[in-house]
Amino acid sequence: KLDLNLVDLRQTVERLALNTPVTDMHTHLYAPEFGDLLLWGIDDLLTYHYLISESFRWSEEEYSRFWSMSKREQADWIWKLLFLDHSPVSEAASGFITILKRLGLDVSSRNLDDYRQALEKRTVREQVDTVMLIAGIEKIVMTNDPFDSAERPVWQSGKGKTDPRFYAALRVDALLNDWPLAVNELQSLGYDVQAEWTERTKEETRRFLSEWIIRMDALYLAVSMPGDFKYPADDHRNQMINQVMIPVCQEQNIPFALMIGVRRKVNPSLGLAGDMSMHADVSAVEALCRQYPNQKFLITMLARENQHELTVLARKFRNLMIFGCWWFLHIESMVEEMTRFRLELLGTSMIPQHSDCRVFEQLIYKWEHSRRIIGNVLADKYEKLHHSGWIVTEEEIQRDLDDMLNRNFWRFLGKE
Ligand code: RAT
Ligand code: ZN
């Protein structure tokens, strides 16, 4: 086995961190079979909701004016405000530049129409293959909602499972966070439910979940929760979790993913861009993990203030897997901070990142930026070991990165 000297060590870690194949365990991307649901190309990239909210900081424009523009006009507006009138230094804006560069476009030209034309020449399938190759992404987990009328027919036609690189996650937000809406949707899908919490309603909701988990081959059940989510408590969410979701997850042998700490629509005029982060109570996760030791929980939280406590909690419960630097935490300073203390508290037994991409080419920047940080933090740790005489081999470095970027997820699912 190779004994690496210090310079080699850092370079090896950086190289492997950039190249190890990734399983991206939470995205909003779709396989090409889903048609227009799969967003890609310049105009979708520029109208990403992260960039929309940043643009409005520089403009007095009426929100309604923006929403009445065509996608191309919106993209032009954002390009001018965030890239020409000001420098694109934010994570989301600099990410767009990283994408242009990696796609081989001339960043210095600043010619948006050239970029558009270059990408419009490609087919969606070519672009999916190219981006996955550049970003080193092997497997992508989608976010799948049977209540979405655009998405549902793809599953019903059986085409949802065609591309083996894409996996499903069954998203259940409405069931937990908007029960009246969920009741309507379930009824229209032919499930015999009602607003009151009857035995029949529970049974039918369980049947709905089981049928859709099987139809999608869903890897896990997923929900986003507000920061004031309480467990245990005497409320609808607790009933739904205890009497419907956990029993179904157990029966289907899949984890339950909770993404906690979002306050939706604090500025409704911004649409998707109008959501806020919110401090949450980690003891809800603690109670769930203790109550259901045989149920696996994939957990991420949105408030920076919750991260350390959540990481400590993962030391206490092996049925808890923490993942990703979510949304407003997916910025370089937070990824660095979180990756460092997660490694220090848990070693490599966690999932350091997911992309949350909504537009396909975003895989390029989100992973490149994070891979660099993960590699750098890991190299610091190996260097320290090296000084004590513990020599890590290249195989071991590869193993550790493979665990964090890929295998920990599959192992946790029991699907290695
Ligand atoms: O990160 C995002 O794009 C958010 O808008 C949300 O989709 C969040 O990631 C979620 O899954 O709820
Ligand atoms: Zn998401």
The residue extents of the domains of the chain are 6-413
Q: Is 185 in the pocket of ligand 1 (CB under 6 A)?
A: no
Q: Give 225's strand partners.
A: 260
CA pair distance 16, 182, nearest whole angstrom: 45
Q: DSSP labels for 45-112? A: HHT-HHHHHHHHTT----HHHHHHS-HHHHHHHHHIIIIISS---SHHHHHHHHHHHHTT--GGG--H
Q: Give 244's strand partners.
A: none
- Beta-strand relationship, 137-141 and 22-24: parallel
Ligand minimally distant from the alpha carbon of residue 25: 2
Say if residues 28 and 143 touch (Cβ distance below 8 Å): yes
Q: Which helix H or strand E contains 412, and what residues bound it?
A: helix 408-413
Phi, psi of 167 (to 5 degrees): -125, 155
CA pair distance 39, 35, nearest whole angstrom: 9
Ligand minimally distant from the alpha carbon of residue 362: 1
Q: DSSP labels for 312-361? A: HHHHH-TTEEEB---GGG-SHHHHHHHHHHHHHHHTT-SB------SBTT
* Count of other CB atoms within 10 angstroms of residue 272: 13
Q: How far is the CA of 199 from the centre of ligand 2 (A)?
A: 32
pLDDT of residue 303: 98
Q: Is 144 in the pocket of ligand 1 (CB under 6 A)?
A: no
Only one residue has tokens 């700490």, namely 261
Ligand 1 atom with the smallest distance to the CA of 330 is: 1
Ligand minimally distant from the alpha carbon of residue 330: 1
CA pair distance 254, 170, nearest whole angstrom: 11
pLDDT of residue 61: 97
Nearest-CA neighbor of 310 among 292, 335, 277, 285?
A: 285
Q: Rg (Cα) of the chain, in Å, rounded?
A: 22
CA pair distance 416, 406, nearest whole angstrom: 10
Q: Give 263's strand partners.
A: 276
- Ligand 1: which of 224, 272, 327 to mutate, judged by most atoms within 8 Å of the beta carbon? 327
Q: What strands lie across the sheet with 221-225, from one edge to the other?
A: 170-171, 221-225, 256-260, 297-301, 320-322
**Which CATH architecture does the domain made up of 6-413 adopt?**
Alpha-Beta Barrel (3.20)
Tell me the C-alpha to C-alpha distance, in Å, between residue 211 and each of 37, 167, 205, 247, 296: 23, 16, 10, 14, 20
- Give the three-state DSSP class for 299: strand
Phi, psi of 299 (to 5 degrees): -130, 135
Q: Is 272 in the pocket of ligand 1 (CB under 6 A)?
A: yes
pLDDT of residue 2: 57
pLDDT of residue 4: 65
Nearest-CA neighbor of 226 among 265, 183, 182?
A: 265
**Which pair of structure tokens corresponds to residue 292?**
């259901």
What is the reported pTM?
0.98
Q: How far is the CA of 3 from the centre of ligand 2 (A)?
A: 41
- Ligand 1: which of 276, 356, 363 to mutate, judged by most atoms within 8 Å of the beta carbon? 356
Q: Which residues contact 70 (CB under 8 A, 6 or more apart)?
A: none
Say if residues 365 and 48 touch (Cβ distance below 8 Å): no
Q: Is 356 in the pocket of ligand 1 (CB under 6 A)?
A: yes
Q: How far is the CA of 57 from the centre of ligand 2 (A)?
A: 23
Q: Is 327 in the pocket of ligand 1 (CB under 6 A)?
A: yes
Residue nearest to atom 12 of ligand 1 (CA): 224
Ligand 1 atom with the smallest distance to the CA of 272 is: 5
Q: How far is the CA of 172 from the centre of ligand 2 (A)?
A: 13
> Tens-of-pLDDT digits for all 416 residues of the chain?
556 688 899 999 999 999 999 999 999 999 999 999 999 999 999 999 999 999 999 999 999 999 999 999 999 999 999 999 999 999 999 999 999 999 999 999 999 999 999 999 999 999 999 999 999 999 999 999 999 999 999 999 999 999 999 999 999 999 999 999 999 999 999 999 999 999 999 999 999 999 999 999 999 999 999 999 999 999 999 999 999 999 999 999 999 999 999 999 999 999 999 999 999 999 999 999 999 999 999 999 999 999 999 999 999 999 999 999 999 999 999 999 999 999 999 999 999 999 999 999 999 999 999 999 999 999 999 999 999 999 999 999 999 999 999 999 999 999 99
pLDDT of residue 141: 99
- Beta-strand relationship, 221-225 and 256-260: parallel
